A and B are shown apart, each in its own frame.
Chain A
Amino acid sequence: MHLPLSEMYNEPDDRNVLDRMRQGVIGQPLDRPEGALKVSGQATYAAEWRIDGCVEGVLVLAEIAQGQVTAIDRDAALARDGVLAVIADPAMTRRSAQGMAAKAPQQDAAKVEYFGQPVALVVARTFEQARDAAVALRVDYADAAEPVPFDPHAPDVKVEAPSSSKPVEGGDLDQAMRDAAFSVDVEYDTPGHASAAMEPHATIAQWQGDSLILHGSYQMLAYNVKEIADCLGISPDKVRIIAPYVGGGFGSKLGITHEAVAAALAARELGRPVRVVMSRQQVFQTVMRRSETRQRVRLAADAGGRLIGLGHEALVSNLPGEKFAEPVTQATEFLYGGENRLLKVEVARISRLTAGSVRAPGEAVGMQVLEAAMDELAEKIGIDPIELRKRNLPATVPVQGTPYSSRMLTQALEQGAQAFGWSARQDRPCQTRDGDWWVGMGVASAARVNMMVPAQARVTLRADGSALVETDQTDIGTGSYAILGQIAGEMLGLPMARVDVKLGDSALPPGAGSGGSFGAISTGSAVLYACEEIRKRLAKILGCAAEELVLKDGTASHGDAAPRPLRDVLGGEDLTTTGKIKPGKTAKAFSQASYGAFFAEVGVHAFTGEVRVRRMTGVFGFGRVLNAKTARSQCLGGMVWGIGSALTEELAFDTRDGHLVNHDLAEYHVPVHADVPAIEVILLEERDAAASPLQAKGVGELGICGAAGAIANAVYNACGVRVRSFPLTLDKIVPSLPDPFAQTL
């Protein structure tokens, strides 16, 4: 049956259209088409556009945490060489926009809410002049009348229920804990994280009449246009953002941030283009952080190792009034059984930069803790941690009763165990020593919600038989160019050399944007729908049904007819159409998530407590694999994040004045090559019709969701030290290590 192509995704589309095509490019591990440009320095990033007459702006950051700017010594700054303007406009932002806000974040930078908040912009002819004047700029402040604490655990901190999520409650958890044959009740801490994208935030703003053009580094252009327009009080159709290449975002570029609005205001005041590039320290201090969390996990199991109760409560933080609250328990809702449950997030109101989405908000920190607690439970029960997980996969989502669209968790655990060699694991700690290293293994489940968001894409089958895909979808290093081209190539029977993909310009139809792992499936579905429409039109030209049409290598045929070059079929005409998709009833009717399993082997130095990951295996099922290479890279990158989250990454705030102590990459430790061992990634093919007409689910964040838990579990298995505070730095391990000479002398 041919389903009508509907904008709203209301019914699972199980036609598996892509499987019936002939080109054979979908799923192939193809290189990214823009890859060569990037590695040869020819891809133009935001700050690199050469624009005539452009001058340079540098942000000035507050040297207090809370208060009011009372005076800025503009004259002294303007008297310096090359300085053109000091911008301190009420329209400047003091917070960053949250993902998909589509409206201005908090403005009026004269009110200081956290240490390092931008308060002004100095513009000069050269970057060096601007930076020097920015450092010298004198700003006077009045202290805040009612300051909020810097520390989420301060006694006087205000704790609120977030407006963005409701607790999940079922049965009687306390009773279940009392009835349990085995239980754990543990508290874990995770620190704040920075996105630490390679490319710092940068904007070049240029006005043409009353229209604004921005070359910037953003993830979601359609929303960003509205955010900037709202900040400036102009109509969104007067704003165009150009961002064909983005050097990573990881959530920090979902919404607009300070440099964009400041650059636009400065360019308007000066009547010339202005570039504002944030320094690494400024990005760390002002853009976006992942909230630290304190999580209490309660697990109650019966004698057979089946969960009868599950509690997951988290305290996160944000600025007063900010809606976002790290959704720590998001995957806990559907992952394991236990009808007696309490899942809840609360927000402490503190003075630190905006907390928002950092890669896999919720699951990144929620899963690592849940999975570590599951390991503690498995040990108590005395069963294999894989077995514990397999025993506790519910038939439908607890409390809600929603069915699962698809779930490859058992397969991932089993296949991973095989590939990794799990059977060699010792079930007690301190059993394996390799020289000075205790060696251990750990496992964790992976889970990340799947989301679709509204998306559009225009596809043109050009008269010469080549195709053009156009959407404002961004490619933040993930492979959007590659997979959108592959979908079109597969659907239109074209080799990749004949498909052009144009992205990252807000003048193009609005794609999904890059965030929440939804870019590929949402924008990809829009491309698929557009291609289906074009196939229909081709079928009409050829006088056959769309289902009979065979497109391959630039030719069209049907039935016994000989293949004809598309160029001939098209007769000089372009076929163009815009595909559109919006989430519909399938979003609520099914619990949709991508799943997987992580396996880690670590060494813990018997003397110094240093932890080094020796190898990792990740197995993932996320529906159809659109490109096995870019999907693998996403999983691999996620697991590297897991290593950082487990072992090294931590934003250190000074709780006396609220300033961020480690605001650069020398002291905020992301994993380096030597920290990343051989990582094996296994992709499980699956079709999930409820998720999208591509039968694909999101994969961009899955690789991080639980990875740190597997590493923490391996640390315990190696040396018997259970650290309930991430990251597992050696200072937390050393005090509990056994005698290092036990095995060596």
Chain B
Amino acid sequence: MKPFALDHAASPDAALAALGKGATAIAGGTNLIDLMKLQIATPERLVSIRRTGLDRIAPDGDGLRIGALVTNADCAADPRVRQDWPLLSQAILAGASPQLRNRATTGGNLCQRTRCGYFYDTTQACNKREAGSGCAARDGFNRIHAVLGTSDACIATYPGDMAVALLALDAVVLTQGPYGPRQIPLAMFHREPGDDPTRDNVLQPGELITAVRLPAPTGGRQIYRKVRDRASYAFALVSVAVDLTMEEGRIARCALAFGSLGTVPWRDPAVEEVLIGQEPSPALFARAAEVLLHHARGFGANDFKIPLAARALAATLAQATKV
């Protein structure tokens, strides 16, 4: 860890002012401090945004506005979230541990970095950590890596759970920045690596996430299915978020998002199109999986994710469509 200065911002404006001068925001610190200890992140100035007052959950029309500093624990326990957007609650509770969720925040969770072991090890080549240095994971131990949205430069996943649920729920990320406020649909928030894996998302320098907005509840059946190596406290190998409504034995509407499968939280409208209007059956689920995984590509140790994703999708759809 390098020496750094720490300030506390008492308002969003104060935070923005500090960010404008080049400070890095620190929320729960559960990811950033690890990165600093390993000197993967080396900010000289930190601004803590914990006291900016952005830690409230409030109704927003028919929807809900979740402040960027609401902790994962508070968000998952909120009665409105549990009632109307249970998918979000389930996804958060499937992640990390109670200690981490007490500390981790909505904004920080969206910005968490990959868990690629080569990224965290400064003895290894990594284009995400150091542009142009290479990608040691590609021909290495890449069991947890992505099979969709990869590039020659990087094959790392966005590892989180919460964002996968938010993606299925059509959430919008609200920000403030040097160029004013922005509303960024979750689907546009994370970036595929392309030829610049250093940037995980579309936030600009000096931009602050202030909240996440959920649209009106769909009333659908919501399930978050996280497949992992142990029963708790492990990142997903593959996860599936579904929000689905049945009418007269057919799938009337359906939103599906996948975690740890792609380089970003993954949603593919073509998969949903296959399902909508159809009667659920194993053959239908298999067809949806084919569409989803048509372009999937494994790198050796992660090949298994492709059949696994198909099976996880089938399991989740079978559960969600059962009357």
Contact = CB atoms under 8 A, between A and B. Distances in A.
Interface stretch (B15-23, B70-78, B136-144): B136-144
A662 B235 CA distance: 13
A745 B282 contact: yes
B26 interface: no
A673 B232 contact: yes
B308 A661 contact: no
B237 A662 contact: no
B230 A652 contact: no
Contact of B307 (A115, A135, A735, A745): A735
Contact of A608 (B39, B139, B227, B232): B227
A275 B39 CA distance: 22
Interface stretch (B101-109, B247-255, B310-318): B310-318
Given A734-B311, A741-B282, A654 B140 contact: yes
B188 interface: no
Given A659-B124, A734-B311, A740-B314, A667 B230 contact: no
A610 B227 CA distance: 7
Contact of A63 (B123, B143, B229, B234): B123
Interface residues of A, number: 41
A730 B312 contact: no
Contacts of B228: 610
A394 interface: no
A128 B307 CA distance: 46
B1 interface: yes
Interface string A731-745: 100110000110011
B140 A656 contact: yes
A201 interface: no
Interface of B, helix, strand, loop or mixed by DSSP:
loop
Interface string B224-265: 000111111111010000000000000000000000000000
A409 B316 CA distance: 45
Nearest to A605: B315
A131 interface: yes
Contact of B315 (A607, A652, A654): A607
Contacts of B312: 607-608
Given A132-B1, A730-B227, A662 B117 contact: yes
Interface in A590-644: 605-610, 612
B197 to A, nearest CB: 19
A666 B119 CA distance: 14
Interface residues of B, number: 38
A198 to B, nearest CB: 15
A675 B232 contact: yes
Contact of A740 (B122, B143, B315): B315
Given A659-B124, A735-B307, A612 B143 contact: no
Contacts, number: 98
B268 interface: no
A453 to B, nearest CB: 36
B2 interface: yes
Interface in B114-139: 115, 117-118, 121-124, 136, 139
B81 to A, nearest CB: 23
Given A436-B315, A607-B314, A132 B2 contact: yes
Given A659-B123, A745-B282, A674 B232 contact: yes
Given A647-B230, A672-B233, A608 B140 contact: no
Contacts of A730: 227, 229, 237, 304, 308
Interface in A440-475: none
A669 interface: yes
Interface in B196-211: none
Contacts of B121: 659, 661, 663
A523 interface: no
B61 interface: no
Contacts of B232: 672-675
A719 to B, nearest CB: 13
* Residue of A135, A612, A731, A745 ringed by the most chain B CB atoms within 10 A: A731
B180 interface: no
B1 A131 contact: yes
Contacts of B229: 647-648, 669, 729-730
A674 B308 contact: no
Given A607-B315, A656-B139, A659-B121, A672 B307 contact: no
B311 A607 contact: yes
Contacts of B118: 661
Interface of A: 63, 81, 115, 128, 131-132, 135, 436, 605-610, 612, 647-648, 652, 654, 656, 659, 661-663, 666-667, 669, 671-675, 729-731, 734-735, 740-741, 744-745
Closest 3 CB pairs of A and B: A674-B231, A607-B315, A731-B304
Given A666-B235, A667-B115, A671-B230, 13 more contacts: A115-B123, A131-B37, A132-B1, A132-B2, A607-B311, A608-B311, A608-B312, A661-B121, A662-B141, A663-B121, A730-B227, A734-B311, A735-B304
25 contacts: A63-B123, A81-B3, A131-B37, A132-B3, A135-B122, A436-B315, A436-B319, A605-B315, A607-B314, A608-B315, A609-B311, A648-B230, A659-B124, A661-B118, A662-B141, A666-B115, A666-B235, A667-B115, A669-B230, A671-B230, A672-B231, A730-B237, A730-B304, A734-B311, A741-B318
